[in-house]
Amino acid sequence: MNVLSAENLHKTWNEKTLFQGITFGLSKGDKVALVAANGSGKTSLLNILTQRDKPDQGVVSIRKELHWAYLSQEPDLDDKASILDNVFLSDAPAVRAVRDYEAALEQHSLQASSVTEKALDAAMEAVTRYEAWDLEARAKTVLGKLNIHNVVQPVAQLSGGQRKRLALARVLLEEPDLLIMDEPTNHLDIEMIEWLEEQLMAKSLTLLLVTHDRYFLDRICDRILELDKGELFEYPGNYEAYIENKHHRYAVAQAEQEKAHNLFRRELEWVRRMPKARTTKSKSRLEAFDDLSDRAKKKYQDEATEFGVKMERMGKKILELYHLEKAFEPDTCILEDFTYTFKRGEKIGIVGPNGVGKSTFLNMIMGLERPDKGKIVAGETMVFGYFDQKPLNAPDDMRVIDVLRELAEYLPMADGSRLPVAQFLRRFGFANETHYQWVGKLSGGEKRRLQLLKVLVTNPNFLILDEPTNDLDIVTLATLESFLIDYPGCVLIVSHDRYFMDKLVDHVFVFQGQGQIKDYPGNYSDYRAWADSEKQRKQQEKPVVTSAVTPSHSEVKPAQESRKLSFKEKFEYEQIEKELPELQAHKQRLEEELAGLSTEFERIQAISAELAQLSDELDSKELRWLELSEGL
C-alpha cells in the first residue's frame, strides 16, 4: 500500500536549483534513508513532504487516513509550557483522547450534569480504545531514556540538545503510521542512539529519515534515496550496498563521459569548419552539440578524496595531564585524580553519556576551564586545533573563501607543495560557485563544514574535535575520515558516531560518571563487546535470592510526597467514586435482608459470607480513594 508519493518535484532556493523532476514513493512498512551533501536540499525536500513548504512544481500526497509525524531540526515547542505539557501538544489520536478526557473531567467537576457525565463517559471510552490510560507514565519513561527527568521544568530553560530530545520523545509517543525524521541522532549519546534503534526496529511504521550515522542507517533502513546534483537515485539495501552501487554508477557515468568527450572533440572540429549559412539541419546538430558539451563536462567524484597535509613540527613532549580533579556543585564530579601522557600520533576517542563532562574535559585541555586540582603541561611545539560545538564565527555578509583567507592563503602539503584554500574548499565539497557566496546563504550543515575547515587550515599538530560529525553529510564525513587517517598528529575526538570512531581511534576514554574514566585499548565496538560480556558475566555470578528479607526499620523508605495523579490514576479515582455508593447501597440491602431472617440458616450463612467479602472490598476501595484524593 502506497502511503506517500511525490511526483515531478522541482525546487529552487536563492537562485540555486536544489532538485528538478524527482519522483518517488513510500509503501507501508518501508524504512528509507535520504542522503545527500549539505546544501543539496534534504531538509527542503522534507519540508515539502510535510507541507511546511511548497514545491515550485509537482505534487505530494499522503494517504488521508494515516497519522504522520515529523521530527525537524528546529523543534516547534511552547516555551511557556512544561516539558510534560509539550509532550501532549501533538495531534495524535491517543493524545487527543487524553486531552478530551481531562477537559471533560474538569467540566464535570465544576458543574456535574447528565450532559457532562455523558461527555465524560465518551471521553473515557476513547482513552480506553486508544490504550492511553498509562500515556503519562510512558511519556516519563521515554523522556527518562533521553536523559530528561524534571518533567515540570519550563521548556524555555532547556538547551538546544534537550529541546531536540524532547521533540524526539513527542513524535515517538505519537506512535504514527508514517514518521519523517531529520537527523534524529544529533544531540544523542551512544546509549540513546542504540535505544532509539531498538525502538524504531520494534515498531511497524513507515519511516523516512535523514541521517549521517552509518551504523544507525545500516540497522534501521532497507533502502537509500540519494539526492545528487538535483537528481534522485534509489539504492536497495544497506549502506554497504549503497556504496557499492554508487561506485558502479560513477564508473558507468565516467565511461559514458569519456565517450561523450571523444564525440565532443569530433563535433567541435565540425562546428569550427561549419559554413556561416546555417540550415535547419545544422541548427539541430548545434543543439545536439550543446547537450553533448554538457555531458562531456559533467564531473563525478568518489566518496572521499585522499590528501596528506604537512603539520607543524612536533617535539618529544606532547601533552601531559597530572592528577586532574574537577567537580561542579553540589555533587557532579567530572574528574577524579586523572593522569595521562599523550604519545605522538595517538588517536583517542571519548565516549560516555551526556552530562558526564566530556566537553568540560576538552575545555580544560584548551585552557578554557580550570581544573580544581592537578596540572596540564603542553609541549612547546604543540599547536592545538579545537573544533567545538559553538556556531560558526563569521559575519553573514562575508564571502565563504574569505573566511579561510583570513587565516591562510595556502595549506602546506606533505609532498612539499602548497594547496590553495580554493582547492581545499573543493576537496571538502564546496563547489567553485559557492566560494564567493555570502556566509548567510549557507545551510546549517555547510556552516558546520566551513567551521571545521577554519580549524584544519591553521595547520595544527594536535586536533581536538567535539562532536565533529553533527550536521556533516556522509560525503564530508568520508573526506574527513580520509584526512584524519593520514593525519600524522594527535587527535582527541568526542563523538556519538560509532562508525566514525571505529574507523579512526586506537583506544577510547570511557567517561563512566562520578569522575571515573576507563582507558580501553581498541575502538568503540571492541569496548562495547567487552562491556556486554562483563555485564553478562556479572549477572551470571549474581547470587539467587531464595527467600524474602524483611527490611530493618532504618531501611524502610519514607512515604512519598504528594504528587499529581497520572491519567490512569484519575480514571481509577473516578471509577471508585462511582462504585463506592453502589457497594454501600448493596451492603445496606444485605444487612436489611439479614435482619429479617430468623430460620433460613443456609441463606443467613451465604449473606454473612457475602457481607464479609463486601466489607473487605469497601475498606480496600475507600483506602485507595483516600490515597488518590491526596493527588488531586
pLDDT at 330: 66
pLDDT of residue 187: 87
What's the pLDDT tens digit per position in 154-178?
A: 999 998 889 999 999 999 998 899 9
Mean pLDDT score across all residues of the chain: 84
Angle between helices 93-110 and 160-174 (to 10 degrees): 90
How far is CA 65 from each of CA 176, 177, 178, 358, 504, rounded to the nearest angstrom? 11, 10, 11, 46, 47
| pLDDT given for residue 254 in this prediction | 75
Q: Name the band, by pLDDT with cuts 50, 70 and 90, for residue 544.
A: low
pTM of the model: 0.75
**Whether pLDDT at 370 is above 80:** yes
Q: What is the pLDDT of residue 12?
A: 92
C-alpha grid cell, residue 584: 454501600
CA 279 vs. chain centroid, Å, equals 60
Band the pLDDT of 549: cuts 50, 70, 90: very low
pLDDT at 285 over 60: no
Distance (Å, rounded) from C-alpha 63 to C-alpha 1? 10
Q: Over 80: is that where the pLDDT of 600 sits?
A: no
> What pLDDT is attached to residue 329?
72
Confidence of residue 548 (pLDDT cuts 50, 70, 90): very low
pLDDT at 301 over 80: no
pLDDT of amino acid 40: 87
Closest CA to 170 of 156, 155, 157: 155
Q: What are the boundaries of each domain within the chain? A: 243-297, 319-535, 567-629
CA–CA distance from 455 to each of 179, 383, 394, 459 (Å)?
Answer: 36, 11, 13, 8
Q: Tens digits of per-residue pLDDT, 6-48?
A: 999 999 987 788 999 999 999 999 999 999 988 889 999 999 9
Helix and strand numbers (H, E) in the chain are 19, 20
**pLDDT value of position 552:** 41
Taking residues 425-445, report their average pLDDT.
Answer: 88
More confident residue, 614 or 165: 165
Maximum average pLDDT range among 123-132, 284-293, 598-607 = 123-132
Q: What is the DSSP letter of 39?
A: T
Q: Model confidence at 546, in pLDDT bands (50, 70, 90)?
A: very low
pLDDT, residue 54, reads: 93
pLDDT tens sequence across 77-119:
999 999 999 988 888 888 888 888 888 888 888 888 889 889 9
What is the per-residue pLDDT for 598? 59
Which three three-digit cell numbers place residue 297? Answer: 563536462
Of the pLDDT bands very low, low, confident and very high (cuts 50, 70, 90), residue 304 is very low
Digit-coded pLDDT (tens) for 258-275: 766 666 566 556 556 655
Residue 387 has pLDDT above 90, yes or no: yes
Q: Could you report the per-residue pLDDT of 312-327, keeping only the tens digit for each?
A: 677 889 999 999 999 9
CATH of region 319-535, choose from 3.30.360.10, 3.30.1490.20, 3.40.50.300, 3.90.1010.10: 3.40.50.300
Distance (Å, whole) CA 487 – CA 308: 7
Res 569: pLDDT = 75
Higher pLDDT, 224 or 616: 224
User: How much is the average pLDDT of 341-368?
Assistant: 92
pLDDT band at 550 (very low <50, low <70, confident <90, very high): very low
The predicted pLDDT at position 281 comes to: 46
Whether residue 619 contacts residue 602, with contact meaning beta carbons closer than 8 Å, is answered with no
Q: Where are the beta strands (DSSP E) in 248-364?
A: 319-328, 332-341, 347-351
Q: In the chain, pLDDT over 90 holds for what percent of residues?
A: 40
**Mean pLDDT value of segment 402-412:** 90
